[in-house]
Amino acid sequence: MNEAIQSEKTKILLIDDEDDFCFFVKLNLEKSGTFDVRTATSGPEGILLASKERPDLILLDIIMPELSGDQVAEQLMENPETRDIPLLFITAIASRQGVESQEGIIGGRQFIAKPVTPEELIAKINTVLESRK
Protein backbone atom coordinates (compact mmCIF):
# COMPACT_ATOMS: atom_id res chain seq x y z
CA MET A 1 0.00 0.00 0.00
CA ASN A 2 2.84 2.36 0.85
CA GLU A 3 5.17 1.64 -2.05
CA ALA A 4 5.73 4.63 -4.29
CA ILE A 5 3.91 4.63 -7.60
CA GLN A 6 6.38 4.55 -10.47
CA SER A 7 6.12 7.78 -12.41
CA GLU A 8 6.33 6.36 -15.98
CA LYS A 9 3.10 4.41 -15.56
CA THR A 10 -0.44 5.80 -15.27
CA LYS A 11 -1.26 6.01 -11.61
CA ILE A 12 -4.70 4.76 -10.66
CA LEU A 13 -6.37 4.79 -7.28
CA LEU A 14 -9.34 2.47 -6.87
CA ILE A 15 -11.67 3.19 -3.95
CA ASP A 16 -14.21 0.37 -3.53
CA ASP A 17 -15.44 -1.44 -0.43
CA GLU A 18 -15.38 -4.78 -2.31
CA ASP A 19 -11.95 -6.07 -1.38
CA ASP A 20 -12.00 -8.88 -3.97
CA PHE A 21 -12.98 -6.46 -6.72
CA CYS A 22 -10.02 -4.22 -5.80
CA PHE A 23 -7.73 -7.26 -5.82
CA PHE A 24 -8.71 -8.38 -9.33
CA VAL A 25 -8.87 -4.92 -10.89
CA LYS A 26 -5.36 -4.24 -9.60
CA LEU A 27 -4.12 -7.54 -11.04
CA ASN A 28 -5.75 -6.93 -14.43
CA LEU A 29 -4.76 -3.30 -14.84
CA GLU A 30 -1.19 -3.90 -13.74
CA LYS A 31 -0.91 -6.93 -16.02
CA SER A 32 -1.48 -4.62 -19.00
CA GLY A 33 1.88 -3.05 -18.12
CA THR A 34 0.70 0.55 -18.31
CA PHE A 35 -0.88 1.09 -14.92
CA ASP A 36 0.19 1.21 -11.32
CA VAL A 37 -2.78 0.69 -9.07
CA ARG A 38 -3.34 1.51 -5.43
CA THR A 39 -6.51 0.39 -3.70
CA ALA A 40 -8.54 1.59 -0.75
CA THR A 41 -11.56 -0.23 0.66
CA SER A 42 -13.16 2.77 2.36
CA GLY A 43 -13.81 6.42 1.60
CA PRO A 44 -11.59 7.88 4.38
CA GLU A 45 -8.70 5.57 3.43
CA GLY A 46 -9.13 6.55 -0.24
CA ILE A 47 -9.08 10.30 0.55
CA LEU A 48 -5.82 9.92 2.50
CA LEU A 49 -4.23 7.85 -0.25
CA ALA A 50 -5.35 10.28 -2.98
CA SER A 51 -3.69 13.15 -1.15
CA LYS A 52 -0.53 11.17 -0.56
CA GLU A 53 -0.11 9.44 -3.95
CA ARG A 54 -1.66 12.06 -6.29
CA PRO A 55 -2.84 9.49 -8.84
CA ASP A 56 -3.60 10.35 -12.50
CA LEU A 57 -7.16 9.05 -12.07
CA ILE A 58 -9.41 7.83 -9.27
CA LEU A 59 -11.85 4.98 -9.80
CA LEU A 60 -14.61 5.49 -7.27
CA ASP A 61 -17.43 3.22 -6.15
CA ILE A 62 -20.69 4.95 -5.14
CA ILE A 63 -22.37 2.80 -2.52
CA MET A 64 -19.90 2.40 0.35
CA PRO A 65 -20.24 2.38 4.13
CA GLU A 66 -18.87 5.32 6.16
CA LEU A 67 -18.56 7.71 3.20
CA SER A 68 -20.42 7.27 -0.06
CA GLY A 69 -18.70 7.83 -3.40
CA ASP A 70 -20.50 11.18 -3.67
CA GLN A 71 -19.19 12.33 -0.29
CA VAL A 72 -15.67 11.14 -1.15
CA ALA A 73 -15.85 13.09 -4.43
CA GLU A 74 -16.97 16.23 -2.54
CA GLN A 75 -14.06 16.00 -0.11
CA LEU A 76 -11.58 15.41 -2.94
CA MET A 77 -12.93 18.50 -4.71
CA GLU A 78 -12.51 20.60 -1.57
CA ASN A 79 -8.84 19.66 -1.25
CA PRO A 80 -6.55 21.71 -3.55
CA GLU A 81 -4.17 18.74 -3.74
CA THR A 82 -6.78 16.40 -5.17
CA ARG A 83 -9.40 18.63 -6.82
CA ASP A 84 -7.89 18.29 -10.32
CA ILE A 85 -7.65 14.51 -10.32
CA PRO A 86 -10.20 13.09 -12.78
CA LEU A 87 -12.81 10.80 -11.26
CA LEU A 88 -14.37 7.78 -12.91
CA PHE A 89 -17.33 6.39 -10.99
CA ILE A 90 -17.59 2.64 -11.16
CA THR A 91 -20.91 1.47 -9.90
CA ALA A 92 -23.30 -1.44 -9.55
CA ILE A 93 -26.37 0.76 -9.14
CA ALA A 94 -26.64 1.70 -12.82
CA SER A 95 -27.18 -0.79 -15.60
CA ARG A 96 -24.57 -1.17 -18.35
CA GLN A 97 -27.29 -0.39 -20.87
CA GLY A 98 -28.29 2.78 -19.03
CA VAL A 99 -24.72 4.03 -18.77
CA GLU A 100 -23.90 3.10 -22.39
CA SER A 101 -27.01 4.86 -23.69
CA GLN A 102 -25.74 8.10 -22.10
CA GLU A 103 -22.18 7.55 -23.35
CA GLY A 104 -20.92 7.04 -19.82
CA ILE A 105 -21.74 10.55 -18.64
CA ILE A 106 -24.50 11.05 -16.09
CA GLY A 107 -24.98 14.48 -14.51
CA GLY A 108 -21.65 15.63 -15.96
CA ARG A 109 -19.78 12.78 -14.28
CA GLN A 110 -18.00 9.89 -15.94
CA PHE A 111 -19.49 6.49 -15.13
CA ILE A 112 -18.83 2.88 -15.90
CA ALA A 113 -21.25 0.14 -14.79
CA LYS A 114 -20.32 -3.10 -13.08
CA PRO A 115 -19.75 -5.79 -14.19
CA VAL A 116 -17.01 -4.53 -16.45
CA THR A 117 -14.26 -6.38 -18.31
CA PRO A 118 -10.63 -5.19 -17.99
CA GLU A 119 -10.65 -4.15 -21.68
CA GLU A 120 -13.74 -1.99 -21.20
CA LEU A 121 -12.28 -0.48 -18.04
CA ILE A 122 -8.94 0.32 -19.68
CA ALA A 123 -10.68 1.85 -22.70
CA LYS A 124 -12.82 4.05 -20.43
CA ILE A 125 -9.83 5.10 -18.31
CA ASN A 126 -7.93 6.11 -21.47
CA THR A 127 -10.94 8.05 -22.76
CA VAL A 128 -11.24 9.99 -19.51
CA LEU A 129 -7.50 10.70 -19.39
CA GLU A 130 -7.40 11.82 -23.03
CA SER A 131 -10.35 14.15 -22.49
CA ARG A 132 -8.36 15.86 -19.72
CA LYS A 133 -5.27 16.51 -21.89
Partner 1 sequence: MRKESLIRQKIERNGLILIALAMVLIYWILDSLVSNQVTTRVLIVAFVLIYGIFTQTLINSRKTALEEKERAQKQLIEAEKLAALGIVAAGIAHEVKNPLAIIIQGVEYLKSSMESDALLLDVTERIKKSALRADNIIRGLLSFTRQTPIQANDVDIIPVIEETLSFVDYQIKARRIKIVRQYATGLPEARIDDNQIKQVFVNLLLNSLEAMKNGGTITISAEGLREEGDRRSLQVVIADTGCGIPESVLEKVFDPFYTTKDTPGNAGLGLSVTKGIIDKHRGKIRIESEVDKGTRVIIGLPAVSPQQNGSPAVTGGRNE
Q: How far apart are CA 60 and CA 43, in angstroms?
A: 9
Measured from the CB atom, the residue of 37 and 82 that comes closer to partner 1 is 37
Stretch 30-69 residues interacting with partner 1 (CB under 8 A): 31, 63
Number of residues that bind partner 1 (CB under 8 A): 22
Is residue 89 a contact point for partner 1 (CB under 8 A)?
no
CA distance 96 to 41: 23
Asked whether position 97 contacts partner 1 by CB under 8 A, the answer is yes
Stretch that binds partner 1, among 33-41, 42-50, 75-83, 90-98 (CB under 8 A): 90-98
Q: Rounded to 5 degrees, what are φ and ψ at 90?
A: -125, 115
Helices 118-131 and 19-31 meet at what angle, rounded to 10? 70
